[in-house]
Amino acid sequence: MGQLLACSLTAAIGLLVCWSAIYLILRKERRTRGAPERGDMHHTHRKPVSRLGGVALAASFLVVTVLAFARGNEGLAPDQHPAAFVALALGMFLVGLWDDIRPLGARKKLLSQVIVAILASCAGFSISVVGLPFTRESLDLGWWSLPVTVLWLVSMTNLINLVDGLDGLAGGISLMLMILLVYVGLAGQQLVVVAAGMAGALMGFLWFNFPPARIYMGDGGAYFLGFLVGLMAIVNSNKGTVLAALTAPLFVLALPILDTSLAILRRGTQGLPVFRPDRKHLHHRLLSMGFSRRRIVLGFYLLTLLFLVMAFLAFSTRGQLVPLLLGVLVLVILVTAGQLDFSREWFAVGRVLGSSIEMRKDVQYALALSKWLEMEAERASSPDALFEDFAFMAQKLGFTHLRLRHHNLVRTWSNTPGVAPVKEWHHALGPGERDSVSLGITQEGSSSDKTLEVLGELAAEAWFKAARRLEKTRNCTVFPSSLSLS
């Protein structure tokens, strides 16, 4: 009864701290110059939205952990110091916050995450022994403990970030994970109050984040939550239920894991950088089919709630039902995917691999031209000069028509004047139709439609980045209206 009361009070405090912090953040931004907007053509929000929600979550975490550890060490092992637990979680938050303020690049972010994960392992938060299912035996990982721990923590850190592409989605899934960790923690009296406090904080965050969102958690919040879940799962696994404690969160993260796996497979087979963002995630596909943001989020919530029940069963049976539950999970995903037209692409493995092999050389060439265009932005004297370079890139990629729209201003190029394109690919430079790039061809060539679609997307992304660089280099305005009408 005392534990339940402590959890309830801490959850209420976490909710109040997070709600108040977000209110102050939004109020301050309204009084200044508005929400900081990070340039990314793959974002789908139509208005500037603050990315500082992670600050409120981190503040709630600080208050919650002070209250929790004031009652004791919250079930931490002797070699796991409370100060190290807090410092590590905030360290990962700072990595994400830095990227929110000034993008680090994929390699620097990954390196920073690995460093924090290594420090966590050295501080006693490591996966050293794994309990085997169906037996009472344990497997000592030995020197494998470090790479396994780093892989676990870095994977969990990025899973939440990768699913943070739709209002309320990452926050809702994180809330379910915290509820699961409360349940798991009760079995060994480990970090129960911390998990309950963060569940309350996430409820306060979702008040502002549910569609239409007024604030995002940003990379800071996403990295922080993912890493915290991974860290708490390790702590909860110290009492001989390693496999169950580590497996249970993976059920809740079934959708992010599926989405990430498909993205890595898609980009890898096409020769694209694995960490390159795009608009082909599950929620992007559903948005393009006409589903509303709220309907998509609620649908994902419903599926994740089902997976949460499976997670409860996986832990309560100490991993005994994991094989059966995995089968049910796969069946649910297959039945759900069968209702969606784009899921047919997932099963056409032979056709996808065949077209991807042909595509890889073209993609590598397009990536090289993209880098060239970004560098030319520093030498271009004006937006018009940069557009000429962009037209040259489009021609090299096999396109014969190019139309660039910034708000109501349009600039066009064609190497076959008077001949209309037989096919055209449209790529938005952000949400809505105000800014876009359209590329077309006058006749069928050697490249497939799928290849031209990918090449066009790379070209549009290259223009977006080059235009941003030109703005900084020449102190001019490319977005929204510096181009003259053609």
Identify which has the larger pLDDT, 328 or 392: 392
Examine the domain organization and report whether 341 and 384 are in the same domain. Answer: no
Q: What is the predicted pLDDT for the residue at 250? A: 81
Structural domains in the chain (count): 2
Closest CA to 88 of 115, 126, 116: 116
Percent of the chain residues topping a pLDDT of 90: 24
Is the pLDDT at 239 greater than 70? The verdict is no
CATH of the domain at 466: 3.30.450.80
Q: Return d(Cα 70, Cα 49) in angstroms, integer.
A: 36
pLDDT at position 475, please? 73
Greater confidence (305 vs 333) lies with 305
Together in a domain, 333 and 383: no
Using CB atoms within 10 A of its CB, is residue 355 exposed (0-12), middle (13-18) or buried (19+)?
Answer: middle
- pLDDT value of residue 402: 92
Position 350 in a domain: no
- 212 preceded by cis ω (within 30°)? yes
The set of residues, in sequence order, having a beta carbon less than 8 Å from that of 410 and lying 6+ positions away, is: 403, 404, 485, 486
Q: Compute the distance between CA of residue 425 and CA of residue 449 in angstroms, rounded to an integer.
A: 9
Lookup: tokens for 121: 């392992």
Assess whether 120 and 257 both reside in one domain.
Answer: yes
| Mean pLDDT of the residues in the chain | 81
CB 482, CB 476: distance < 8 Å: yes
Residue 160 banded pLDDT, cuts 50, 70, 90: confident
Q: Which residue has the higher pLDDT, 249 or 95?
A: 95
Residue 88 near residue 108, CB atoms below 8 Å: no
Q: Which of 61, 10, 16 is nearest to 193 (CA)?
A: 10
- Listed residues 326, 345, 364: the one ending a domain: 345
H or E stretch at 138: strand 138-140
- Give the residue with greater pLDDT, 475 vs 413: 413
Q: Which tokens hold the place of 124? A: 């006693």
Q: Are residues 341 and 383 in the same domain?
A: no
Same domain, 377 and 335: no
Domain that holds residue 393: 373-474
CA–CA distance, 206 with 200 (Å, rounded to integer): 10
Q: Looking at the structure, do residues 269 and 378 belong to the same domain, yes or no? A: no
CA distance linking residue 50 with residue 237, whole number of Å: 36
Residues 439 and 320 in one domain: no
Q: If pLDDT is split at 50, 70 and 90, which confidence band does 288 have? A: confident
CA 188 to CA 236: how far, in whole Å?
7
Of 300, 325, 345, the residue that ends a domain is 345
457 belongs to a structural domain: yes
Same domain, 413 and 338: no
Separation between Cα atoms, residue 249 and residue 262, nearest integer Å = 20
> In the predicted model, is pLDDT for residue 128 greater than 60?
yes
What are 401's strand-pairing partners? 414, 440
Q: Which residue has the tokens 């799928």?
A: 450
Asked, for residue 199, whether it belongs to a domain, the answer is: yes
Please indicate, yes or no, if residue 202 is contained in any of the structural domains: yes
The pLDDT of residue 345 is above 80: no
Query: Domain check: are 204 and 258 in the same one?
Result: yes
Give the pLDDT confidence score for residue 362 in this predicted structure: 86
State which amino acid sits at residue 73: N
The answer on pLDDT for 202 being more than 90 is: yes
Name the band, by pLDDT with cuts 50, 70 and 90, for residue 242.
low
- Do 276 and 392 reside in the same domain of the chain? no
Last-in-domain residue among 301, 330, 345: 345
Gap between the terminal Cα atoms of the chain: 73
Q: From CA 471, how far away is CA 480, in angstroms rounded? A: 11
Residue 361 placed within a domain: no
Average pLDDT (423-433) is 75
Confidence band for 96, pLDDT divided at 50, 70 and 90: very high
Q: How far is 387 from 411, CA to CA, in rounded Å? A: 8
Selection from 167, 162, 169, 208 nearest residue 53 by Cα: 208
Q: Determine the Cα–Cα distance for residues 333 and 339; give it in Å rounded to an integer.
A: 10
297, two tokens: 């989020």
Q: How many CA atoms lie within 13 A of 335 on its CB side?
A: 7
Task: Find out whether 41 and 460 touch, Cβ atoms under 8 Å.
Answer: yes
Q: State the average pLDDT over residues 468-472.
A: 84
CB 224, CB 35: distance < 8 Å: no
Asked if pLDDT for residue 347 goes beyond 60, the answer is no
Q: What is the pLDDT of residue 416?
A: 81
Would you say residue 379 lies in a domain?
Answer: yes
46-95: per-residue pLDDT in tens? 567 888 899 999 999 999 999 888 877 767 777 788 899 999 999 999 99
Task: Determine contact, residues 219/199, Cβ cutoff 8 Å.
Answer: no
Regarding whether 134 and 14 lie in a shared domain, the answer is yes
Tokens of 262: 């498909």
Residue with tokens 């209420």: 12
Residues 304 and 440 in one domain: no
Look at residue 267 and tell me if it is in a domain.
Answer: yes
pLDDT per residue as tens digits for the range 1-23: 567 787 889 999 999 999 999 99
Q: Is the pLDDT of residue 38 over 60?
A: no
**Domain contains 354:** no
Higher pLDDT, 451 or 343: 451
